[in-house]
Amino acid sequence: MSRNPYSTIDTVTVGDSVVLWRPSAANWYNASVSALTAYLQTVITQGRSWTTQYAAPSASPFTVTVTARTTDIWLILTPTGTLAAGTITLPAPGNSFDKQEISVNTTQAVTALTVAGNGATAVTGEPSTLAANAFFTLRYDAATSTWYRVS
């Protein structure tokens, strides 16, 4: 029966260190809890990072260009009233990242909506009209250079 050479503690603080085995080096290493936390935050997919972009179009037709970011984007449209036509231009493929999401909400109706791919191969499933308080989400697939509607 092997004996655990390490003592056990019930709480961990940011100043503590942990022991890690790195198979590629066949060696044990010491890492701070803060370094381990920083690494885990980069690999955990929960809790995506979102940037909110606002647009308040007042005339028809309107164009809103989604700003290129290194985060997912929540576009909130607050038109002054029902608008006959509008275009939402997505970030170009070189300014998008794989699995990036763009969510769009509107407080007023847009009778004819165009979602422009801005150089993407395609935008699939995009709505052609929006009712008041409607929303949709697109996700980018870098392998096909296509935006797909996911909700």
**What are the pLDDT digits (tens) for 74-133?**
999 999 999 999 999 999 999 999 999 999 999 999 999 999 999 999 999 999 999 999
The CA-based dihedral angle spanning residues 51, 55, 61, 66, taken in that order and rounded to the nearest 10 degrees = -20
pTM, entire model = 0.70
Is the model's pLDDT at 33 over the cut of 60? Answer: yes
Instruction: In whole angstroms, give the CA distance from residue 97 to residue 21.
Output: 32
Is the model's pLDDT at 142 over the cut of 90? Answer: yes
Instruction: In whole angstroms, give the CA distance from residue 19 to residue 5.
Output: 12
How many of the other CB atoms lie within 10 Å of CB of 133?
10
Confidence category of residue 73, pLDDT binned at 50, 70, 90: very high
The domain spans of the chain are 1-44, 50-149
**The one-letter amino acid at 47:** G
Is the model's pLDDT at 1 over the cut of 70? Answer: no
**The one-letter amino acid at 50:** W
Tokens of residue 21, six digits: 């085995």
